[in-house]
Structure formats: C-alpha cells, structure tokens
Amino acid sequence: MNRVGGGLNGVRARQRLVLAGAMLVTGLVVGGVLLLGGSGGDDASAGAPEECVAAWNQDSVSRGIGSHVGSSHGYTGAWVMYLGEDFEPSSDDQGDCAVVFPAAQPDPEPFFAAAILDGERWRALSRATEITAERLGELQREALALGNAQLLPDGSLAGL
C-alpha cells in the first residue's frame, strides 16, 4: 500500500514540476516578447509623446472616453503619437497628437477606435478627419505592436 501511495505522490510531484517548468517557460517567452517589442529601432514605436499624454490626461472628456473604452471595449493600452495629415505616424512632433486603441479587428464603433487632438479638444479620429475605415483598422492593428501607453481605469494614460 505504501508503494501505491508513494507512486501517487511521485506522480503529483512530477506534475507540479512540469507545471512549474511550463510556467517558467511561458514567463520567459512573454518577457522576451515584451523586451523585443519595446526595443525596436522604429521611431514610430518610441515612447509616448509626453505633450500628448498630458493633453489627454488634462481633458475630462478624453478621460471619460478612455474609461468607457477600457470598461466597455476592453482596451488596456494605447498607441500615442503624432499623426500627419496623410494618417501616417510622424517620428517627430509634426502632426497632431493622436491616441489609437490597439485591436486585431477594427472596433465595431469606429468613433471609439482612436482620437485626435483638434486644437484643444480631443475628437474621434473617424469623425474629425476624412480617414477611411480601412486605414483606421490598420492603425488599430499597428497599435498592437507599437503601443506605448497604458490605459488606466480612470481613463487616463501612463506612458510606458
């Protein structure tokens, strides 16, 4: 009887060891992906422009949008950058501050996919410009790899 009981304990010990090993490997893979994703040489993936993050965080309407998209649309991050008139990210401060919420598929409510600073007011990128639905979806997909800010529960942004 001890032998059977010892066998079960041995199996359980091996299962715990395999689980611990799998968790370690998963952690290393995730850590490596985060390091590689954040260290690319592409200027578009640089840190979030402080001026744009500050403008977002100082505006109660944008924070309300951020809170909504976080709780109702499931966003946890954002790509904050300068966006040119051609809807291409700019590596310097040419263009307008923009915030794009990352998604593999375009948001079913396009006005919650991205926002642009229009003067001193944040507006839905889809309503403030002539952007196509296709380009808006492309920006959301690009934001998956280029995200540089965390969306906090209160709707504010924290640069990464």
Q: What is the pLDDT of residues 84-141, one digit of tens each?
A: 999 999 877 789 999 999 999 999 999 999 999 998 899 999 998 999 999 999 999 9
In the prediction, which pLDDT does 48 show?
94
Judge if 126 and 54 occupy the same domain.
Answer: yes
What's the CA gap between 132 and 59, in Å, rounded? Answer: 26
Judge if 15 and 65 occupy the same domain.
Answer: no
- Give the domain range for residue 110: 44-159
Q: What is the pLDDT of residues 26-77, one digit of tens each?
A: 444 333 333 334 333 344 456 899 999 999 999 999 999 999 999 999 999 9
Judge if 108 and 130 occupy the same domain.
Answer: yes
Q: Tally the domains of the chain.
A: 2
pTM of the model: 0.71
What's the CA gap between 56 and 53, in Å, rounded? Answer: 5
Judge if 97 and 151 occupy the same domain.
Answer: yes
Judge if 28 and 68 occupy the same domain.
Answer: no
Residue that the structure tokens 């040489």 belong to: 41
Judge if 24 and 67 occupy the same domain.
Answer: no
Judge if 34 and 97 occupy the same domain.
Answer: no
**Taking a C-beta distance cutoff of 8 angstroms, is the pair 150, 76 a contact?**
yes
Judge if 142 and 94 occupy the same domain.
Answer: yes
Judge if 33 and 49 occupy the same domain.
Answer: no
Judge if 30 and 60 occupy the same domain.
Answer: no
Judge if 49 and 111 occupy the same domain.
Answer: yes
Q: What is the pLDDT of residues 17-28, one digit of tens each?
A: 554 444 444 444
Judge if 90 and 124 occupy the same domain.
Answer: yes
What's the CA gap between 7 and 70, in Å, rounded? Answer: 49
The helix or strand, by DSSP H or E, that contains position 81, with its residue range, turns out to be strand 77-83
In the prediction, which pLDDT does 74 show?
95
